[in-house]
Amino acid sequence: MAVVQVFSGTDTVLLDKAVRDAVKEALGDESADFALAELTEKDYEVDDGYSISPLVDAAQTPPMLTDRRVVVGQHLARFSTGDTVEPLAAYLSNPLETTRLILVWSRGPALNRRTSGLPKKLNEVLKTLGVSVTKTDVNQKESGAWIDQQLAELGLSLDNQARRLLGEHLGDDVNRLVGITRSLLATHGDGSRLGVDEIAPYLGSAGDVPPWDLTDAIASGDTQASLSTCRRMVHGGERHPLAILASLTNHYARMASLDGARVSGERDAAALLGVKGSTYPVKKAMQQARRMGPASVKRAWGLLADADLDLRGGTAADPEQVLEVLIARLSKL
């Protein structure tokens, strides 16, 4: 095992699981009571701010009553410049062979600013050691393979129908897999092959889905699918109706801006709208605007404006009901 491992991620559940697995592997047969040292943001506090030196001191400490020490440095996003990680970079140039160092580039409770990647100086040292950063966040494209890997590692096997149900139910909330699999293991044991009937009681409410799932459902004219997707965003994703309305407004604003515009393709349309990066959302807006026509786009814009007023106090109706009426009407267009 490498003398140093580095993890980063914004999803605390997935990041914590990856770190715990790494700690377990690093400890082996050693007792955590004697071999494990874990430092958090509070441990880095000094009179004039924060210092990474306590972590370096822990890494340089020889083992006592054990063959090795495992040192975990949490909340290291606090150190974002080359100067702040200089002591750690110096240590890694000649690390102690008896220390297994696990670095976690995450934000601590006292850090209010947005975090960035590892400082360049530290990246260069890690590169010379042949160490890469393990990123624990899982995007939608990777979620299927990640779920399969986690199930295999836990010794759980699902039939095709159950696997499909699990993936659809989790949506973007793949971190919920950790809790679900623990419950399944406790009930059925490892090595079990499970079907829909066995996993259904442990799934809970459906997980969040990305905003484009909602706009795609509306564009297809499928009112039932549109409302189901909306409910998953509100309940599974805990999104406020105003946040969902804002996403819809952005989508239809693109359509309205492109209506009648002299553009020859999606690249011209993206330039007109000031969209950088992927032009795929612009392409979808163009296609939907052409299918709907100017009158329906204008009608959609009016429905969005009415819903905005209602959600801001224009009616006593429940906000979720206002949103669902809006989505049903948009899907009919």
Q: Could you tell me the CATH number of the domain that includes residue 153?
A: 1.10.8
Give the end of a domain, one of 89, 120, 135. Answer: 135
Q: Do 182 and 120 share a structural domain?
A: no
Q: Do 127 and 10 share a structural domain?
A: yes
Give the end of a domain, one of 101, 117, 135. Answer: 135
Q: Where are the alpha helices (DSSP H) in the chain?
A: 12-27, 32-35, 53-60, 86-92, 120-129, 140-154, 160-170, 176-188, 196-199, 211-219, 223-231, 241-258, 266-273, 280-309, 319-332
Q: What is the pLDDT of residues 55-87, one digit of tens each?
A: 999 999 999 889 999 999 999 998 988 899 999
Total domains, the chain: 3
Mark the ranges of the chain whose per-residue pLDDT is less than 70: 1, 13, 114-116, 138-144, 171-175, 202-209, 236-237, 276-278
Beta bridge partners of 4: 101
Kind of pairing between the strands at 69-73 and 36-39? parallel
Q: Do 157 and 99 share a structural domain?
A: no
Give the end of a domain, one of 90, 116, 135. Answer: 135
**Alpha-carbon span 192 to 253, nearest angstrom:** 50
Q: Do 167 and 279 share a structural domain?
A: no
Structure tokens, 120: 């360049």
The set of residues, in sequence order, having a beta carbon less than 8 Å from that of 10 and lying 6+ positions away, is: 137
Structure confidence at residue 287 (pLDDT): 81
Domain hosting 175: range is: 140-202
Long-range contacts of 218-224 (CB under 8 A, 24+ apart): 218/327, 218/330, 218/331, 219/284, 219/288, 219/291, 220/331, 221/331, 221/332, 222/331, 223/327, 223/328, 223/331, 223/332
3-state secondary structure of 134: strand
Torsion angle defined by CA atoms of residues 233, 236, 239 and 240, in that order, rounded to the nearest 10 degrees: 100
Structure confidence at residue 83 (pLDDT): 92
Residue type, 225: A
Structure confidence at residue 142 (pLDDT): 57
Q: Do 100 and 29 share a structural domain?
A: yes
Q: Do 218 and 279 share a structural domain?
A: yes
Structure confidence at residue 16 (pLDDT): 84
Any idea which residue has 């976690």 for tokens?
104
Any idea which residue has 């399969």 for tokens?
148
DSSP symbol at 66? S
Q: Do 105 and 13 share a structural domain?
A: yes
Structure confidence at residue 278 (pLDDT): 66
Kind of pairing between the strands at 45-46 and 49-50? antiparallel
Q: Do 130 and 28 share a structural domain?
A: yes
Closest CA to 74 of 137, 130, 18, 123: 18
Distances (CA, A) of 119 to 54, 76, 78, 116: 19, 11, 11, 8
Residue type, 127: K
